[in-house]
Structure 1
Amino acid sequence: MIPISIISFVNKHCKSNPDEEPNKLKKRLKEAVNDKENGVICFKCDQEIWAIGSAVANQGCFSCITGEAGASEDYEIDEVCWS
């Protein structure tokens, strides 16, 4: 995963998704980061959650949210990115 700050992700996401409310996204991202730090797991497979995906879609891991196996080209909030 590629580390990105919450602010940078909000700016990037909202540029591509102009209907998104930046403050609401920022709040959801902070909640997802907190959940991940507290050990919340994927709703389907019991793996650790993907904070960005959990803030945008539902509380799940990268694979269950996207259907993809590899996440090396995708973003994760730097506070919880272990790579």
Structure 2
Amino acid sequence: MNGTGQQQDQRLEQAILELLDGRAPTATICPSDAARAVYEGDDDGWRALMEPARRAARRLVAAGEVEITQGGHRVDPDEVRGPIRMRRLR
């Protein structure tokens, strides 16, 4: 991976953790929240960061920082399809 991609990945991971830190312990966020926080434009270019944000969430799950939920229930990040939410690991 090139330096720019690695920096983007680190910014997405940091954005996820910072967004969660600013909310109630049980609150969830969407990957789009992190994508919007990292994207520096004012158009919908953040959409290109959606899959990188989902990958960042999976890395944070592996690191024991967050869990991925769907329909309010914890799900396996390698199995889930469709819309997801993230919250701090309980």
TM over 0.5: no
Select the structure that is richer in strand: 2
Give the greater-gyration-radius structure (CA). Answer: 2
Identify the TM-score tier after normalising by the shorter chain. 0.3 to 0.5
TM-score w.r.t. length of structure 1: 0.36
